[in-house]
A and B are shown apart, each in its own frame.
Chain A
């Protein structure tokens, strides 16, 4: 195998694909990047059996073939190369790939390409397309709310529901829940699947195009794939029953508070510096008299407090939250003001964007004294 390609394109492709390479491989070849050169195209693949990523870039192929190189060294070497182009030349007898760029020469040992489990593209009856900016927004507004606790797998992913005219994504770690809906035409689907947060955050990271483009999604009963541009991502789905989230979204709130997003986020961030040492990162919020009093206290460290002006519509409320559960969502909010809707001290509260009925975030308070 022998080919030449642009260094920057290869570096970018490697950055994307290497996320799927196994850090603790079940077999050694899974820690490698699979390369296939043919017809003026270079295909890169990596998989750890959970997720898989394929990326195509242009290449000048002199001799077609396949090789597998260690992900770590391949990446480090490529990134440091001095030239604008890179040439690869595989010596089958020595099981070595020579990498040349300007004045630099490397020889990397190969991994056995025939052992690499190449990714088979999904074929499924359930398929639809969605604009990448919409998909990105769905992910950004929900995936952060997932749990990282592998003991309860359904909460480590986002629920994706595709209906006749809307796509919904929901994520929860049982203490908070993020819900985001997009109304779309001609979806003609009925899908309800749980997608691992890991593949979604990879997607969010690599969907960077300026101009909206179509993402083609295909589902089978246990897998999903996303195809767009020169990329193909696939992932196992999470099996299990996602709880009925409709039930936990309150329909009614006694108090509605309007706050400046940036000012409130900055204040909560500051006050939580003191709360962070505690197990639940507890901040207390006292809504009343046209302001919210934010307070945290740690007997071993000290205390912090700050007042932020607020428009309070309804009875005063004192409530405590895990500060992270509040700041996480505020970081995704784009409107200058937002609504904080509350009932009583131990009832779930809601955070909504101004003029956006399609997003809601529910957060449970922390019980501070029984």
Chain B
């Protein structure tokens, strides 16, 4: 059966909410994001985008490019509330909704022919419903699969509605650069360009053998299928968290291993608490390091047994850092755990029982008085708490 998938993406979501609620912002460049010197742009209104401001850009760059913009820290509680309204609309239009982010989702409308005369008209109804109920504008892509639907929603922003059918793949998809394929980041794009594949069309007509040699069999097959507009991933309704992580961008770059160790201890404590609160243990610990020049590295290690205690996470992250060859000023550190296990085998030889009791007490305090109530001695002087 022919599938019909809708990808709905709110246009400049945070900025649009601000403009909707503040008449004085309308028609003006609005930029929402972290306002500290090292903050990052979350959303820029279309007016701001004309100045070359876009999301994920350092706030300092945004201020330079658009000095007269309206810079806002954002009201995330409000955005979540609006998001809930939007997803309520999604859920009325399809029984299968996959949330991707606060303002974006996939809707599987396959087999709903009785409710809709034509998929396109159904998408129009959805857009109208969102506008009527939230006063906001969405762009919709409609296609036989998730990949094409996502491409489609992006083609005519803002307020777009694009339908891509299987016959349109060559005409619409092939002229696009390979970077438009989901999962093709900078590095993969470079490799593809080295093979002479700049557009999706070139990739689709390229050699699977060469691609396999460069990217490995799994990635090569997947890319080839996507380049031909094929994607059979289902719309997954309730997606469980795949990882639990925390990262910190530092006000001042870290320069010494001691500073790094200290921050890893902070992060390990935060990640451990989140894991335990969710009743999870992680088998894989990932360390993310962003250098002052913005190059970003991730290193991961899969452990023989899943962990959830601060010091175990710290040790794993610390080891990853120790074997990380590059040294220099570090701008951001992150630790995340994945590969969850809810049940855990206990070891006869490791002394886990003491740890369990200790963390039972620590977590009890955190639950009652908040995460800051208890900290580790080496971190005491950092936040001014607990000084004698």
Contacts and interface: CB of A to CB of B under 8 A. Distances in A.
B343 interface: yes
B276 interface: yes
A370 B279 contact: yes
Contact of A243 (B304, B342, B346, B349): B349
Interface string B267-307: 00000000010011100000000000000000000001000
Nearest to B363: A370
B232 interface: no
Nearest to B356: A346
A276 to B, nearest CB: 14
B345 A172 contact: no
A209 B346 CA distance: 40
Contacts of B348: 172, 174-177, 248, 348, 362, 364
Interface string A155-178: 000000000000000001011110
Given A346-B356, A369-B279, A278 B346 contact: no
Nearest to B359: A370
Contacts of A282: 343
- Of A177, A362, A367, chain B has the most CB atoms within 10 Å of the CB of A367
Given A370-B276, A370-B279, A370-B308, A346 B346 contact: yes
A149 B305 CA distance: 12
Interface in B322-368: 341-350, 353, 356
Contacts of A368: 342-343
Given A370-B276, A370-B279, A175 B346 contact: yes
A279 B341 contact: yes
Contact of A367 (B304, B344, B349, B350): B344
A369 B304 CA distance: 20
A27 interface: no
Contacts of B356: 346
B307 to A, nearest CB: 12
A175 B344 CA distance: 11
B361 to A, nearest CB: 14
A369 B278 CA distance: 10
A346 B350 CA distance: 13
A280 interface: yes
Contacts of B304: 149, 151-152
Nearest to A362: B348
A370 B344 CA distance: 9
B68 to A, nearest CB: 52
Contacts, number: 54
A176 B342 CA distance: 20
A52 interface: no
Given A370-B276, A370-B308, A364 B343 contact: no
A365 B346 CA distance: 7
Secondary structure class of chain A's binding surface, majority of residues = loop
A322 interface: yes
B250 to A, nearest CB: 31
Contacts of A172: 348
A176 B344 CA distance: 14
Contacts of A174: 347-350
B102 to A, nearest CB: 28
Nearest to B277: A370
Contacts of B353: 346-347
Contacts of B343: 278-280, 282, 320, 366-368
Contacts of B308: 370
B346 A280 contact: no
Contact of A364 (B279, B280, B341, B345): B345
Contacts of A243: 349
A280 B356 CA distance: 20
Nearest to B347: A174
A367 B355 CA distance: 14
Contacts of B346: 175, 346, 348, 364-367
A322 B279 contact: no
- Of B279, B345, B356, chain A has the most CB atoms within 10 Å of the CB of B345
A301 to B, nearest CB: 16
Contacts of B350: 174
Nearest to A244: B349
Interface in B22-56: none
A152 B350 CA distance: 15
A369 B342 contact: yes
A278 B344 CA distance: 12
B345 A366 contact: yes
Nearest to B279: A370
Interface in B63-122: none
Contacts of B344: 366-367
Nearest to B305: A174
State the 10 A-B residue pairs at the shortest beta-carbon distance, nearest first.
A364-B346, A248-B348, A367-B344, A370-B279, A174-B347, A175-B345, A280-B343, A368-B343, A243-B349, A366-B343
7 contacts: A174-B347, A282-B343, A346-B346, A347-B353, A364-B345, A367-B343, A367-B346
Given A175-B345, A364-B348, A367-B344, 8 more contacts: A278-B343, A279-B343, A282-B343, A347-B353, A366-B346, A367-B345, A367-B346, A370-B308
